[in-house]
Structure 1
Amino acid sequence: MTTCRLCGSAHLASVVDLGATPPCERFLTAGGLAEPEPTYPLHLQVCTECWLAQIPPLITPEETFTEYAYFSSYSASWVEHAKTFVDGAVERLGLDDSSFVVEVASNDGYLLKHVVAQQIRCLGVEPSVNVGQAARDAGVPTKTAFLSPESGRDVREEHGPADLVVANNVYAHIPDIIGFTHGLRALVADDGWVSIEVQHLLTLIQENQYDTIYHEHFQYYTVESARRALARGGLSVVDVELLPTHGGSIRLWARPDAVAGEPSERMMEILDAEKAAGLHEMSGYTEFSERVTKVRLDLNKFLTDAALEGKTVVGYGAPGKGNTLLNHCGIRPDVLRYTVDRNPYKHGRFTPGTRIPILPPERIEADKPDYVLVLPWNLRKELTAQLSFVDSWGGKLVFPIPHLEIVEVKS
């Protein structure tokens, strides 16, 4: 990548180079283990003109999202987070049975089912055929499509403008950031609202959350870079909320320029915090690579020592972020025997690159390992409660991010 995808500048600076890895959601079948497995560079850079952090667009969304392995509803805390958002948005915006809500990248209906429950007209726009069908089966109206200016206009012409457009955890997933933003503007009413949740680059840098860098995520936002991106489509950010999701996210509230008004005080406070952390200049990025290396060294030392001591270590979860960590650290089944996941779609498959077997969660209680490496560390509270039973045989949990931590749990 030689130019910024947002502003076109050629001034790109390296933040961290994670080598080459396979796409994080391309789980292998048993038959696929004998086949070649393509890998792609995973190198995060930042534009020193607009400060958008980005990786090269080496895979297309069509390759990843036509059939997708991630179903949002398998996380109870994520479903509850969605319900809380819907309840708050209905109150904040005064939505009722005359309103219309569109969610982009609506997955299996985990969020819009709460809109349906309040008898508010809604539509999901979801590119993945398999998860979109799951949403329709659950009673959530869903259109199979990628958002573009054209598909946004099509939805508007067929269903009318949306009072609220929701784009949670998708704004990082599209390489055509300008076209996607124009698609959002095409969907939203001239006096409507756009709500976007995306991981905050500030916490990614401060908390060593480098495993959230993977090929599905083409860019990584501060409020400043998100504000610049949305402006390209005629949308102004007027408010920002800080969220604990994904280790630290931002919820951006934007409106069409003509009705936007002045930004909120808390939005200006977050912009000031980003500036103080050096993220509007190079100083905030220079030491990140060294801290990433320490995560890798510490985790590998723990796994090696455990193996030499005859201790068993297994994983919990098979999230995309986990595959960045496993590949960057070079972890294989000789030190991590398997991982488990609640999603039956992944059972019997293998993690990309590292080829670690993925089994049902019940396997942990059957095998009673000494340690369980928790890969979706962002769900720490939820998973610590779910895994409290490992205490019955003296097992411990291991969290690799932001630094290695071995935790005793009490059942």
Structure 2
Amino acid sequence: MSAAAVAEQDGRTGPLERPAGRTCRLCGSNQLRRFLDLGVVPRCELFLTPEAVAAPDVSYPLQVWVCERCLLVQLPPLFTPEETFTDYPYFSSYSTSRVEQARTLVEDAVRRLGLGLDSFVVEVGSNDGYLLQHLVRRWIRCLGIEPSVNVGETAREKGAPTFTEFLTAETGALVRAIHGPADLVIANYVYGDVPDVTDFTRGLRSLVADDGWASIEVQHLLTLVERTEFDTIYHEHFQYFTLLTGQRALATGGLSVVDVELVDIRGGAIRIWARPTECAMEPSVRVTEVLAAEEAAGLHVARGHDGFAEAVSRVRDDLVSFLIEARRAGKKVVGYGASGNGNTLLNYCGVRPDLLAYTVDRNPYKHGRYTPGTRIPVHAPERIAADRPDYVLVLPWNLRAELLDQLSYVREWGGKLVFPIPELEVVSPAPADRPLEHPVF
């Protein structure tokens, strides 16, 4: 019997291919089912110097799998975190909205947990101190654990105490022995970036006081699927979580989920509140509601993940068609943002400088460099006002509200903004943000 016939007989509609020799990093099963294949692409954060542009790219398969036993959606570990995060080009503070969201989280945690001058807070993956600075201003004792040497140094320059290291069970125990247990441990958008999720979780538990809390923010697989946010998939992200798989992962280190919040950040996230299992209370009604929504969407069974690839290809077709039509009409299109998710989008869609003349970014580290794979030059944001392009393709579309404000000046010459996800939308950066009919030439 053919594979297709077997799939039809047992009710599975998705691909049956399984990666040879691969096992699930959470439960050890070898029953991994293909979720999405984005081709072979270079690592998304390796921006090229002018000298490196003529050299060939080193590329890797960008394939995503779902475990049929525990349902964790995951990428194979093609290289170690040390190869990505030791010297890192991403600085959180360049996003004003992320700094503001961090301030709000700190204020909420202070109210929720009664944090004060005698409290201790640890942030794992603390980047450049974008969040720790709000704790420092409140005179709350805090510590960041950040593996990137260059980024951690920037945090220390801001007055945010930072320990340059990867979190493991061993380093978690070391930090606890030196600084004491933490009343709160924060891990924002780092839980998906570790290939050994069990060891990392044990490190979290080592940090948390026996009656303490952990706040873990991750992109929600439910919104990733519903909004076709495939560009948030790249090699440095090793797994993507539903609340269900988040529960299962945290349980490996002795942490239990007691509450969850839906957060409108990065295209849709969940903020998981967990406590050591021995002191955890019954989960809140919000936990029950989010689990029910995931189940209704089919994400609590392996075959419910099928069909995502078709939706992704429609996004690609719409964007490429728009860019080709714009070029034929003699219109100039440039990009805004040089982010990891933008590089996934550009590489998967096959966009080159003939369709996107250049992109800009607020991070000076990237100026004068080129995007990996696609070789699109990166300039300072001022280039847009100087050139007055017809369209600006917004690559970090998940910062829509922030960028509509930052790019409001584009309307001075009749320019338009293009948002590629969740579906192609061309808008005028006017206060009303009114949609325009596509295409507009």
Q: In which range does the TM-score fall when normalised by the shorter chain? A: over 0.9
Whole-angstrom distance in 1 between the partners of 2:424 and 2:430: 20
1:52 aligns with 2:76: no
User: Which stretches of structure 1, 4 residues or longer, exceed 2 Å deviation after superposition?
Assistant: none
Distance across 2 between alignment mates of 1:118 and 1:157: 24
TM-score (norm 1): 0.99
Tell me the CA shift for residue 46 of structure 1.
Answer: 0.5
Structure-to-structure mapping, 1:40-79, within 5 angstroms: 40-79=60-99
> In the alignment, is residue 167 of structure 1 matched against residue 187 of structure 2?
yes
Q: Hey, what does 1:104 align to over in structure 2? A: 124
SS of residue paired to 1:167: strand
1:255-274 alignment runs, 5 A limit: 255-274=275-294
Give the structure 1 partner of residue 270 of structure 2.
250
Deviations along 1:291-334, one digit per CA (max 9) or x if unpaired, are 10001111111111111111000000011100000000010001
Matched, 1:139 2:164: no
State the secondary structure of the residue aligned to 2:192: coil
Shift of residue 227, structure 1, vs aligned partner:
0.2
Distance in 2, Cα, partners of 1:126 & 1:282: 34
Q: Distance in 2 between matches of 1:26 and 1:59?
A: 14
- Residues 345-403 of structure 1: per-residue CA shift (max 9 Å, x gap): 11011111101000000000000000000000000011011111111111100000011
Gaps of 5+ in 2: 1-18, 432-441
- Alignment correspondent of 1:289: 309
Task: Give 1:51's aligned amino acid.
Answer: L
- Rounded to whole Å, the distance in 2 between the matches of 1:409 and 1:319 is 21
Residue equivalent to 1:30: 50
Q: Which residues of 2 match residues 220-369 of structure 1 at below 5 A? A: 220-369=240-389
1:39 to 36, 56, 59: 59
Gaps in structure 1 of 5+ consecutive residues: none
| C-alpha distance in 2 between matches for 1:402 and 1:59 | 30
- Deviation track 1:249-280 (CA, whole Å, cap 9, x = no partner) reads 00000000100121000111000000000000
Which amino acid in 1 is paired with 2:324?
Answer: T
**One-letter code aligned to 2:262:** L
Distance 1:287 1:162 in 2: 43
1:203 corresponding residue in structure 2: 223
Offset of residue 410 of structure 1: 2.0
**Aligned alpha-carbon RMSD (Å):** 0.8
Q: Counterpart of 1:205 in structure 2: which amino acid?
A: V
Aligned equivalents of 1:56 and 1:45: distance in 2?
A: 8
Code of the residue aligned with 1:13 in structure 2: it is: R
Residue 283 of structure 2 aligns to a residue in which SS? coil
Q: Distance in 2 between matches of 1:372 and 1:116?
A: 38
- Counterparts of 2:343 and 2:275 in 1: how far apart (Å)? 36
Distance 1:333 1:9 in 2: 43
* Equivalent residues of 2:93, 2:128 under 8 A apart: yes
Tell me which amino acid in the other structure corresponds to 2:144: G
Would you say the 8 A contact 2:67–2:302 is kept in 1? Answer: no
Deviations along 1:3-31, whole A, 9 cap, x unmatched? 11000111111111001111111111111
The residue type paired with residue 98 of structure 1 is D
Residue in structure 1 matching 2:214, options 194, 198, 205: 194
Output one character per residue of 1:95-139: Cα deviation in whole Å (capped at 9) or x when no partner.
111110000010000001000111010000000000100000000
Instruction: Tell me how far apart the structure 2 counterparts of residues 275 and 195 of structure 1 sit (CA, whole Å).
Output: 23
Amino acid at match of 2:377: P
Q: Which amino acid aligns with 1:46?
A: V
Distance of 1:186 and 1:133 partners within structure 2: 25
Q: Work out the CA distance in 1 between the residues paired with 2:146 and 2:272.
A: 21
Instruction: Indicate the SS of the match to 2:107.
Output: helix
What SS does the corresponding residue of 1:247 show, helix, strand or coil? coil
Instruction: State the Cα distance separating 1:282 from its structure 2 match.
Output: 3.0
Deviation by residue 1:196-220 (Cα, 9 ceiling, x = unmatched)? 0000000000000000000011000
**Deviation of residue 408 (structure 1)?**
1.4
Q: Residue 15 of structure 2 corresponds to which residue in structure 1?
A: none
Aligned length: 411
Partner Cα distance (1:400, 1:133) in 2: 35
For 1:116, what is the secondary structure of its paired residue? helix
2:37 alignment partner AA: D
- TM-score for the superposition, normalised by structure 2: 0.92
DSSP 3-state at the match of 1:44: strand
Cα deviation digits, residues 64-88 of structure 1 (max 9, x gap): 1001000000011100000000010
Corresponding residue to 1:156 among 157, 169, 176: 176
Corresponding residue SS for 1:246? coil
